[in-house]
Structure 1
Amino acid sequence: MKPRTALSTLTTAVVSAVAGFAALCAATAAQAPAPSTKTFQFVLQNGLQVVVVPDHRAPVITQMVVYKVGAVDDPPGISGLAHFFEHMMFRGTRNNPGGAFSQNIARAGGDDNAFTTHDYTVFHEQIAKDKFRLVARLEADRMAGLDLSENAVMAERDVVTEERRMRIDNDPQALVLEQAEAALYLTHPYARPVIGWPEEIRRIGRQEAENFYRRHYAPNNAVLIVAGDVTPDEVRQVAEAEYGPVQPRELAARIDYAQPRRMGENRFVVTRKDAKVPLFLRLYRVQSYADAPAGAAESLELLARLMGGDATSALYRKLVVERRIATDASVSYDGYARDSGQFSISVTPRPGVPLDTIERAVDEVISNIQRRPPSKEDFARAKTQLVAGAQFRRDSQFEMASAYARALAVGLTGFDVQQWPARVQALKPAQVQAAAAEALNRNEAVTAYLLPKP
C-alpha cells in the first residue's frame, strides 16, 4: 500500500528560495497560459455531483472522488473507522480483486492515492485522457462492490495499527500534536485523531466495516471532480455510463455537533526519552472558511503568512534571524473544515534556550501584531505570495482539482474557489490586525512543551 495521509502534521518553515517565490509564480504563469477557471456542474440521477474543470494544455486528466465522510463520522468508541476505510477501498472487489485497482492504473501509466480528513475522504487518479473511462469504471466498481470479507478487514486493521505505531506512537512531536488537538476541541469529534486511538482501532470488525460502508459510500454522498483535457459532454457521457448504474443508498445522518465553550487555556508538558529536540507548540481554535463571515478566514490565512509563512515573516525574523534563539519557527492556518478551524504555531529552540523564553518571544510578536497593523511592505509581500501561490496552483491540474474538492466537501462553492484570490487582494491591514486580536485569544488556546528526557 502507498502511504496515505491521515493526520495533519507540524508545518516546517521553508527557509530557502522563498524570497523569489512570488516572482517565480508570476514568471511561470507568464510562460504558460493558465487553464480557464470556468467550471461545469451537473448531478446524475443517483445523486452523484459532478464538477468539470477543463484544462486543455496536455492530454491528461485528474479524477477525484470526494466522499462526504471523515473522522467526525466515526461511531462512538471506534475512532479511525473513516481512515480505515480509505485503506479498505484498495483491498479489491469481485471484479478487481486484491491490488488490481492500483495495478490496472499503473499499467495504464497512471498514478493513484487517497487521503482522509476529519470531514471528508478523497480518492484520486492522474492518467492519460484516453484512460479516463478506465479509472471511472474502477472507482464506480469499488463504490458498489467492495470486498469486506473477514480476512480483508482483519488484514487491513493490522496494516492501520502498524501505520499508527510508525507514524504517531514512535514520533514524539506527532503525539504532542495529537494530545494538543484533543485538548483544544474538548468533546467535539475534531478532538479524535483521524487515524484513531490505538485501542479503538482494534475494535474494528467486519460488521462495523459493513455498516459504515453501506451508510456512507454511495453516489448520493459523493462528488466527482474531473480536471483536465475533457469537455463537459465527455465527462457526462463517461459518468452516466460508469457511475450512473450505481444505486443510491440510505445515508447515515451527519450530526451537527456543538462546539463547547472554552473557559481558559490548556497547558501541558511532555518529557520523553525519544524526543530529539525540544518543541514549543500552540494551537488556537478559530473560525473556518465554512463558518466565518466574509473576509475573516482570508484574514487568518494572511495573518499566518505574515507571522510565519517564510524566512521574511515576523516570527521567523524575530526568533531565528534577529534574536537567534530558535532554529525554526512556523505558523499555519487550517481553515477548510465544516466546524472550527485551527491556527498553529510551532518553534524549535536553539540548544540551551528554555521553552519559556521561546514562549515569551512568541507572545511578544503576537502582541505587536494585535496592537498595530502590519507595515505596508510586509502586508504587500504576504498578500502577493498568497495570491501568486493560488495562481501557481492553477497551473497544476491536481492542485486545482484539490481546491474544488476541499471547498465543496465542507459546504463552500465553486464560486468561493474562483473568488478567493480577489478576496485576499481586497483585504486591508486593519482587517488582519483585527483578526489577530480576536482569534489569538488564550481562552481558545492550548500550549504544549515537548522536552527530551535526560
Structure 2
Amino acid sequence: MSAARTWTCGRSAGPHRYCSVVALVLAMVACALPLRAAQEPVVLDSGVEIHFEPVPGADDVGLFCFVKSGSTEDPPGRVGLAHFVEHLVMCADTDERKGWDALRWTRERKVANAMTRPRYTVYFSIGERSQISADARRFADVLRGKLEITQDLVDRERARLVVEIANMTEIRPGAALLWRARAMALAGTPEAAVGIGLRQDIATLDTDMLRRAVTRTHRPEKTLLVVVGNVDPKRDLAFWTDVFGNIEAPEVPEPIPAREASVLREAITPHPRAGGPFGVVAFRAPAFTDPDFAAFGLGALWLAQRADFSLRPRGRELEAGLLPGLYAILDEPRVAYFGRRGNDGDREVDGVRRDLQSFVEASRAAAQERLIAGALPILTRQFEHLLMPRIDLESIGEGPEARSAIVRLRLAASPNGLYRTGLSRGTAAILGFPTDLMERFYKTTAADVARVVRERFAFENGSFAAALPASAAPPADVEGQAGPPGRADTKK
C-alpha cells in the first residue's frame, strides 16, 4: 500500500488562547483542535467534491457519500427505482471485495446505513479511521462501475424492498396515511410521489435497467463526500485524492424508459387493518428562503408539544405518530403532520376530522407571545442540535453560554453528533440552505412564531386524509383539502 493510501492516525494539533477555567475545560474537550471554521470544499480532477469538517474532541471519523440523485428522478411508472438502486449499492460485491455483507458492515461500525431522499441518496458510516478508509475505497469502486449486480442479488433485494414498502406504506393505516397526506400537500410536484416505492412499479424493473440506473446516478461528477470528526484536511487530503481523484467512470447509459402511471389515491379510503377511523392533516412548509421558514419550523414543534397533551390522553393517537418530524427539515419541500386515531368500532370520519380541527383552531387561539416565549429556547435548541452550527471556541465567554457550548461540543464529538453534522453539511450543500439558516432560528421571536401559527396553520390550509375500517364505505364526495371540498385524487 502506498504512503498516500495510508491514512495516518491521531489528532491534529493547534495552539489556542484560553483565559478562564471554563475555557480550559473547553480546551480539554476540544483536545487542542483549532476553531470549527468552515472549510472550503475540494473538487478533485474526477469531479468528486469533498467537504471536510473537523470536530473538536472526536475520536471517530464519519464518511457521508452523497449522490445528487434521489426519488424525484424516478421516471413515471418506475417509482422506487432510486430506492432499489440504493439497496443494490449497499449489498452488492465489487470486483475486489467478494463476500460483502452489508448487515455485518452496519454492526461493525458505530453508525452505518443508507437512505434515499427526494433530492439525494446518501451512504454513511462512522467508526475508526481504518474502517472509514475501507469504506471510502469500496465507494470509489462503486463510482468506477465495479459493482457485481447479479440476478440473484436483484431477486433477493426486490423481495426485501417489497416487504419494506408494505410495512411502511400499506399494512399500517397510519403509515399509509402519511404518504397519502404528503402526496396531497405536495400535489403537482415531483416530491408528491411515494419515493420509497410502489410494488407494482418495482415489479417492472429488470436487472439490465437496474445496472443502467446505478451507472447513470452513481458517478464521480454527481458525488459529494462529507468527512467529519477526527480529520485534518491538510493531513488527509492526499489519501482522499489517491482514492477518488483518478476515477474513470463508465459511459452514461441510456435512461430507463417511463411507463404509464395511473394510480389514484382518494383522500378517504377503507383500510383492511383499521379498527377505527384514522385521520391526518398535513401542512406544507414554506421554502428555506421564505422569511417565515424558521418561525414555521418552531411553530410546528410548539404544536407538536401541544399535540402530545391534547391528542394522546385516551391512547388514540395516530398509529404512525405523525407529528411534525424534526428531520423533515432535511428534505425540500417539507410537510408538518398532525394525526388522530378515533374510537374502535367507529365507521365515520367526522369525529377524527372534528378532533383535528378543534386541536388546530384551539392551538391557533392559544398562540400567544407569552405562552410561546417560555418554550422558545427549547424549541430552538432542537434545531440547533439538528443543524449542528459550528462553534467559535475563541469567542466563548463564561457562564451559561460557555456551559451550553460545552454540551454542544460533547454532542458534536459523539457518533450521534457526527451523524447529524455530516447529514446537515451534505444536505445544506445539495439543497442550498441559506448560510445564515441557524441565525434565523436564533433571531426568531415568540411574536414571530405566534403570528405564523395563526396565519399558516389554519385548518382550511391543510390537506386532510383518512382511513376507515374496511367495512365502512367512503363518502360519495371526498374532500381533498381540510377546508373547502375538492377532489383528492393524486396521480402518482
Q: Same fold (TM over 0.5)?
A: yes
2:75 partner SS: coil
Residue matched to 1:174: 175
Is 1:430 the counterpart of 2:447? The answer is yes
> How far 1:241 sits from its partner (Å)?
1.0
Judged with a 3 Å threshold, the aligned counterparts in structure 2 of structure 1 residues 58 and 428 are, in CA distance, closer, same or farther, namely closer
Residue matched to 1:357: 354
Length, aligned pairs only: 401
TM-align CA RMSD: 3.5
The counterpart of 2:339, out of the listed 346, 355, 359, is 346
Alignment gaps of 5+ in structure 2: 1-24, 256-264, 389-407, 472-492
Judged with a 3 Å threshold, the aligned counterparts in structure 2 of structure 1 residues 50 and 252 are, in CA distance, closer, same or farther, namely farther
1:377 partner SS: helix
Q: Which moved more, 1:199-208 or 1:352-361?
A: 352-361
Residue matched to 1:201: 202
Q: What CA deviation, in whole Å up to 9, does each residue of 1:21-42 have, x standing for no partner?
A: xxxxxxx999955985324221
> How far 1:56 sits from its partner (Å)?
4.7
Residue matched to 1:379: 376
Is 1:336 the counterpart of 2:353? The answer is no
Judged with a 3 Å threshold, the aligned counterparts in structure 2 of structure 1 residues 125 and 436 are, in CA distance, closer, same or farther, namely same
Greater per-residue strand proportion: 1
8 Å CA contact 1:182, 1:191 repeated in 2: yes
8 Å CA contact 2:80, 2:202 repeated in 1: yes
Is 1:450 the counterpart of 2:467? The answer is yes
The counterpart of 1:397, out of the listed 418, 435, 451, is 418
What are the equivalent positions in structure 2 for 1:194-233 lying under 5 Å apart? 194-233=195-234
8 Å CA contact 1:374, 1:433 repeated in 2: no
Q: Which moved more, 1:280-289 or 1:267-276?
A: 267-276
> How far 1:365 sits from its partner (Å)?
2.7
CA distance in 1, matches of 2:106, 2:466: 45
Judged with a 3 Å threshold, the aligned counterparts in structure 2 of structure 1 residues 153 and 386 are, in CA distance, closer, same or farther, namely closer
CA distance in 1, matches of 2:96, 2:214: 18
2:227 partner SS: strand
CA distance in 1, matches of 2:283, 2:425: 26
Q: Which moved more, 1:226-235 or 1:349-358?
A: 349-358
What are the equivalent positions in structure 2 for 1:10-409 lying under 5 Å apart? 32=29, 37-40=36-39, 41-89=41-89, 90-100=91-101, 103=104, 112-144=112-144, 145-247=146-248, 268-276=267-275, 278-289=277-288, 292-293=289-290, 295-308=291-304, 313-320=305-312, 330-332=323-325, 334-338=328-332, 340-349=333-342, 354-368=351-365, 374-387=371-384, 390=388, 391=408, 394-395=412-413, 396-409=417-430
Judged with a 3 Å threshold, the aligned counterparts in structure 2 of structure 1 residues 171 and 215 are, in CA distance, closer, same or farther, namely same
CA distance in 2, matches of 1:318, 1:106: 39
Judged with a 3 Å threshold, the aligned counterparts in structure 2 of structure 1 residues 106 and 444 are, in CA distance, closer, same or farther, namely same
1:331 partner SS: coil
> How far 1:110 sits from its partner (Å)?
5.8
Alignment gaps of 5+ in structure 1: 1-27, 255-265
CA distance in 2, matches of 1:304, 1:29: 34
Q: What CA deviation, in whole Å up to 9, does each residue of 1:31-86 have, x standing for no partner?
A: 95598532422111111110111125243211110111110011121110000011
Judged with a 3 Å threshold, the aligned counterparts in structure 2 of structure 1 residues 31 and 166 are, in CA distance, closer, same or farther, namely farther
1:316 is aligned with what amino acid? Answer: D
Instruction: Give percent identity, aligned residues only.
Output: 18
Residue matched to 2:484: none
> How far 1:442 sits from its partner (Å)?
5.3
8 Å CA contact 1:44, 1:244 repeated in 2: yes
> How far 1:168 sits from its partner (Å)?
2.8
> How far 1:440 sits from its partner (Å)?
2.8
CA distance in 2, matches of 1:182, 1:447: 11
Could you state the TM-score of these two structures normalised by the residue count of structure 2? 0.71
